[in-house]
Amino acid sequence: MLLLPVFLAWSTAAFADAPRETFIDGEIDRLVALYSDGVATGYPEYRHVKFAKILASDGDAAVALFSVEGFQGGNLHEEYLAVFEPVEAADIDGKKTNPYRLLAVRKIGGRGWRTFDWDTAQFARGSVRLKGKQWKAQDPGCCPSAPLAVTFRVRDDAISEARK
């Protein structure tokens, strides 16, 4: 258990001076490792990050959709939405702040449940709206058929959802 805080401190320091995209990509790698069962992995080509003004803070939040795939060596995947809040640059006792901090993360989809299309993302103050498809009882494992749209609200350092 002591190794995890040491790893997190080291990896965060390694990304502190990187461009924001590289920094967020590294943070998503860390989330994938935490959500994995040790076999499941995240594929960068299925990772999406956009920067948008959805929080009360002045800067652009980083909004990420990523998946963790291959649990127990199978074809199960789970989809996650993460929001990173921008941090004002500071140098405190010789340590620099990171450009972003994880504000909230939530599992929002997965095989047999629902899946989202990142290209449909719409951003507004305090929310992210995504469209996708959900599985109906008669749908095969490959192919959800019921359209859906979900608005994810970011409030009080948490992500909640409201269907519309």
| Between 15 and 142, the higher pLDDT residue | 142
DSSP 8-class letter at 72: G
Instruction: Give the predicted TM-score (pTM) of the model.
Output: 0.86
114-129 residue pLDDT tens: 999 999 999 999 999 9
- Angle 135-136-137 (CA atoms, 0-180°, nearest 5)? 120
Burial of 163 (0-12, 13-18, 19+ CB in 10 A): exposed
Q: How far apart are CA 104 and CA 32, in angstroms?
A: 14
High-pLDDT (> 90) share of the chain, %: 81
Q: Region 139-161: what's the mean pLDDT?
A: 95
Q: What is the pLDDT of residue 57?
A: 84
Q: What is the pLDDT of residue 18?
A: 56
DSSP 8-class letter at 41: B
Q: What is the pLDDT of residue 113?
A: 96
Residue 7: pLDDT above 90?
no
87-108 residue pLDDT tens: 999 999 999 999 999 999 999 9
In the predicted model, what is the mean pLDDT of the chain?
Answer: 89
Report the amino acid identity of residue 92. I
Residue 4: pLDDT above 80?
no
Q: What is the pLDDT of residue 79?
A: 97
37-72 residue pLDDT tens: 999 999 999 999 999 999 998 899 999 999 999 999
The ranges assigned to domains in the chain are 3-163
Considering only CA atoms, which of 59, 62, 60, 3 is closest in space to residue 33?
Answer: 3
Q: State the angle between helix axes of 3-15 and 20-35 in degrees (0 to 180), rounded to the nearest 10.
A: 160
The Cα-based distances of 159 to 7, 59, 67, 103, 105 in angstroms read: 26, 19, 17, 9, 7
